[in-house]
A and B are shown apart, each in its own frame.
Chain A
Amino acid sequence: MSSLTLSGLQKEYGDITAVDGISASINDGELLCILGPSGCGKSTTLRMIGGLVSPTEGNVQMDGNDITDEPPHQRETSIVFQDWALFPYKTVLENVTFGLKMKGVGKAERIDRAKELLETVYMDGYEESMPADLSGGEKQRIALARSLAADPNVLLLDEPLSNLDKRLREQMQIELKEIHDTFEKTFIYVTHDQNEAFTLADRIAIMNDGEIVQIGSPQEVYNNPNNRFVEEFLGDTNILHGTVNRATDASLLVSLGTGGTIEIDDDTETEVTEGDDVEVSLRPEILDVQTISDGQKQVQADGSSNCVSGTVNSVLHRGSSVRYNIEVGDGELFVERQIGNESDLHEGDPIELSWSGSDVLAFHEGERIGGKR
């Protein structure tokens, strides 16, 4: 178990900056997920921690010691690769004992240790199998056992589940979480899958364009995103464009392009003034839908309607949930309901969408300016 500190890590490939100055502290025994879209530099960051890529600038410290220039075979880290990278001409047992063999551990001891780990990943009995005879999930388990057998202080996982089907992936996520709890090692887990990050992580670091945009607990980053990128990346949401009508210390009143106004609680230091363009995010799960029966519109007393009216455009059944696309003004919003809790809506129904002002977030030029959940 070890803590890690990354200071100003940067990696350039020619003119391309893959990682642009990353600083973060990873606590002892923590499971940190680095979450970001393809090409955001998350794998490069992981490889710099593992020593497979040398940073152009910055340094990596483990328990306070600078390990930036240590070659990979001397680092107390181990990587679980996306394609698992098992050694094809070695048996499962030889694969798992490899790290210990390189450390000079005696044969009897390393076989004992390997068998123990194979049990942990439910692969006992496969000692003499060749990697080519294993399924994707089995290879994944062997790769994990191989890395754990080397007994690293920090385990680095590079999208290890992305080549598995959904069911197996979800099962492996739970097993990984258990293994993390059992081994009490520091895990750094790279993924592009928000659900995976939310399932596994103690903390999530969200990366975009080579930088960490936000780092915090899953609830923190979901409920309190720094900017529009995080808000949109962590889940489907409706982004509405509007203009600031009135800005006070406590709230913002925004007129929406789709018609209607919206009042947003705001205890952050607001830097927008009247007339500024803002974007407002409405998560599909916070929207209330009501069928308009008599053509009447409810308008709240304070002048902020916090609702818009529209028409159901389409109803999509997506397995465990139903998505309603609703036309409002010149735009489209969507609402999602779990099966069993769905609304009885049909294409063409006139409806009214409403929400609570405290569930809405506002952004100005991509940066968060107000609202909270």
Chain B
Amino acid sequence: MSTSRIRDSLRTDLQQRDFDKRSLLFVPIALLVFGGFVFPFLILIRISLAGQPSGAPYEEGSLTLESFVHVVTSDLIQYIIGFSILYAVTTTLLALVVATFYAYAAWRTSGVTKYVLLFSSILPLLTTLAVKTYAWAPLLAPNGNVNDLLLLFSVIGEPVQFAPGLVGAVVGQVYNMVPFGILAIYSVLISIEESKIEAARDLGASRIRSFYEVVLPEIIPGIAVASIIFVTWSVGAYAAPQLLGGGAERSYAVQIESYMLAELQWAFAGALSVLMLLTGAIGVLIALWVLNQSEGGVRIAGQ
């Protein structure tokens, strides 16, 4: 029996008799998505639509937009939304630049350098997030090593407090995100044929120009994946702003934690969480739209 006949008869079998059985294959993933994300998310939305009494996490059985109104009109929350958006944009752009050039450098070099670059990008993933984030605190402190170096080379006149502060929060977040971006972009880079870069150089493009004209359009899918990781992560950032930021570096997640655990205002926490998810979703859409405008973008639009 030829393969195609086997395949055909198999298909008929599946269509006629085993259609329901085949659908069972979706059950585990459906359960996981529903139980792990959809169901808790529905509870979250429900809580965000409850009233916020004092002395209880939320008012059971009530249905009101009060929490959203409270959250949106609060000066503190407006500041937090503004900060989170700026923080996400800044860290995403910085991480994209670093990851792209790091991956490009790793791709272009050979021998030991290549392995050192690739290995050292993966190494941080082997350490717990909290530990490696907190490790920046002494480095960026006023009497830390970064200040020592900058003072030594007279870049700065007197010690600067990078952490706790905005610089620390940004550096920590970029550092945490970059390895994922490197992996996403490197995996696309290795499919580029080097002769295309040579052709661009040969036709009069400088090194930078040939990167911009030939390499960048080809790695757009990798940059898109990195952008999705960076935007969602940085909008919801908790560890870096909490451990390395000062009082002003207050992100969505930091405030939500405070609502949940310190102030026991779950309705407000729920409302702010919904806003955070919306911000992340809109951020991803904007990033993909921007990438779609570029030369290589046609592929992430799905032709």
Q: Which residues of A contact B (CB under 8 A)?
A: 50-52, 71-75, 77-79, 81-83, 85-90, 98-99, 102-103, 146-147, 150
Instruction: Give the residues in chain B near A87, CB-CB below 8 Å.
Output: 196, 199-200, 213-214, 217
Tell me if B218 is interfacial: C-beta within 8 Å of chain A.
Answer: yes
Question: Pick the contact of B204 from A81, A85, A103 — CB < 8 Å?
Answer: A103
Residue pair B205, A102 in contact (C-beta under 8 Å)? yes
**A87-B214, A98-B213 in contact; A72/B195 too (CB < 8 A)?**
no
Distance, CA A147 to CA B204, complexed state (A): 11
- Chain A proximity of B208: nearest CB distance (Å): 11
**Interface pair B204/A79, CB less than 8 Å apart:** no
Q: Nearest-CB distance from B209 to chain A (Å)?
A: 7
Instruction: Check if B203 sits within 8 Å of A78, measured CB to CB.
Output: yes
Q: Which residue of B lies closest to A89 (CB)?
A: B217
Whether B196 and A85, one on each chain, are in contact in the complex, defined by CB atoms closer than 8 angstroms, is yes
B203–A98 touching, CB < 8 Å: yes
- The 12 listed contacts between A and B (C-beta, < 8 Å) are A71-B201, A73-B202, A73-B204, A73-B205, A74-B204, A78-B203, A83-B193, A88-B196, A89-B217, A90-B217, A90-B295, A102-B209
Does chain A have a CB within 8 A of B296?
yes
Complex Cα gap A109–B196 (Å) = 25
Taking the closest CB of chain B, its distance from the CB of A15, in whole angstroms, is 15
Q: Are A85 and B205 in contact (CB under 8 A)?
A: no
* A73 contact from B195, B196, B201, Cβ within 8 A: B201
Contact pick for B195, options A71, A75, A85, A99, CB 8 Å: A85
Determine which of B203, B206, B218, B298 lies in contact with A99 in the assembled complex, contact meaning CB atoms within 8 Å. B203
Q: Which residue from chain B places its CB closest to the CB of A130 in the assembled complex?
A: B298
Q: Is the CB of A52 within 8 A of B217?
A: no
CB distance from A50 to the nearest CB of B (A): 6
Residue with the highest number of chain A CB atoms closer than 10 Å, among B198, B199, B295: B199
Interface of A is mostly: loop
Distance of A71 Cα from B201 Cα, bound (Å): 8
Shortest CB-to-CB span from B292 to chain A, Å, is 13
Q: Is the CB of B201 within 8 A of A89?
A: no
Residues on B with C-beta less than 8 A from A50 are 202
- In the complex, the answer to whether B209 meets A81 with C-beta atoms within 8 Å is no
CB-CB < 8 A to A89: which residues of B? 217-218, 295-296, 298
B301 to chain A, nearest CB (A): 13
CA distance A89 to B220 in the complex (A): 11
A185 to B107, CA, bound (A): 36
Across the A-B interface, the 9 shortest Cβ-Cβ residue pairs: A102-B204, A99-B203, A85-B199, A89-B217, A85-B195, A72-B201, A89-B295, A73-B204, A89-B296
Expressed in whole angstroms, the Cα–Cα distance for A353 and B68 within the complex equals: 104
Q: Is the CB of A99 within 8 A of B204?
A: yes
Q: A102 to B203, Cβ gap below 8 A?
A: yes
In the complex the two chains form, what is the Cα distance from A79 to B199 in whole Å?
Answer: 7
User: Are A81 and B199 in contact, CB atoms less than 8 angstroms apart?
Assistant: yes
Alpha-carbon distance between A75 and B206 when the two chains are bound, in angstroms? 12
Q: Which residue of B lies closest to A90 (CB)?
A: B295
- Given the interface pairs A102-B205, A146-B203, the reply to whether A85 lies near B213 with Cβ below 8 Å is no
In the bound complex, residues from chain B placing their C-beta under 8 Å from that of A78 are 202-203
Known: A73-B203, A79-B198. 10 other contacts (CB 8 A): A51-B202, A73-B206, A75-B202, A85-B196, A86-B199, A87-B199, A89-B295, A102-B203, A102-B209, A150-B203
Known contacts A87-B196, A89-B295; is A79 also within 8 Å of B218 by CB?
no
Instruction: Give the CA-CA distance A71 to B202 in the complex, in Å.
Output: 9
Minimum Cβ distance to chain B for residue A335 (Å): 43
**Do B201 and A85 have beta carbons less than 8 Å apart?**
no
A86 to B193, CA, bound (A): 10
A150-B201 Cα distance, complex, nearest whole Å: 12
Q: How far is the CA of A52 from the CA of B207 in the complex (A)?
A: 12
Contacts of B209 in A (CB 8 A): 102
A72 to B201 Cα, complex, angstroms? 6
The answer to whether A88 touches B218 (Cβ under 8 A) is yes
CB < 8 Å: which of A77, A82, A83, A88 contacts B202?
A77
A52-B201 Cα distance, complex, nearest whole Å:
8
The listed residue with most B CB atoms (<10 A of its CB), out of A78, A81, A102, is A102
- Please state if A52 and B203 are interface contacts (CB–CB under 8 Å): no
> Chain A: which residue is nearest B204 at the CB level?
A102
B residues less than 8 Å from A90 (CB atoms):
217, 295
Q: Which residues of B contact A147 (CB under 8 A)?
A: 203
Q: B198 — which chain A residues lie within 8 A by C-beta?
A: 52, 72, 79, 81, 85
In the complex, chain B residues whose CB is within 8 Å of the CB of A71 = 201
CA distance A89 to B293 in the complex (A): 13
- Alpha-carbon distance A72/B200, docked complex (angstroms): 9
Closest to B299 in A: A89
Residues of the B chain whose Cβ atoms lie less than 8 Å from the Cβ of A79: 198-199, 202
CA distance A214 to B196 in the complex (A): 33
Q: B196, A150: Cβ atoms under 8 Å?
A: no
In the assembled complex, the CB of A186 is this many whole angstroms from the nearest CB of chain B, namely 16
* Closest chain A CB from B196 CB (angstroms): 5
**How far, in angstroms, from A99 to B204 measured CA to CA in the complex?**
6
Kindly provide the distance from the CB of A295 to the nearest chain B CB, expressed in whole angstroms: 60
B46 to chain A: closest CB distance in Å? 46
Q: Which residue of A lies closest to B197 (CB)?
A: A85
Q: How far is the CB of A84 from chain B (nearest CB, A)?
A: 8
Contact of A81 among B195, B218, B295, B296 (CB under 8 A): B195
Complex Cα spacing A89 to B203, Å: 17
Among A52, A73, A78, A81, max chain B CB count under 10 A is at: A73
Closest to A47 in B: B198
User: What residues of chain B lie closer than 8 Å to A77, measured between beta carbons?
Assistant: 202
Contact bitstring B41-56, A, C-beta under 8 A = 1, else 0: 0000000000000000
CA–CA, A282 and B268, complex, Å: 97
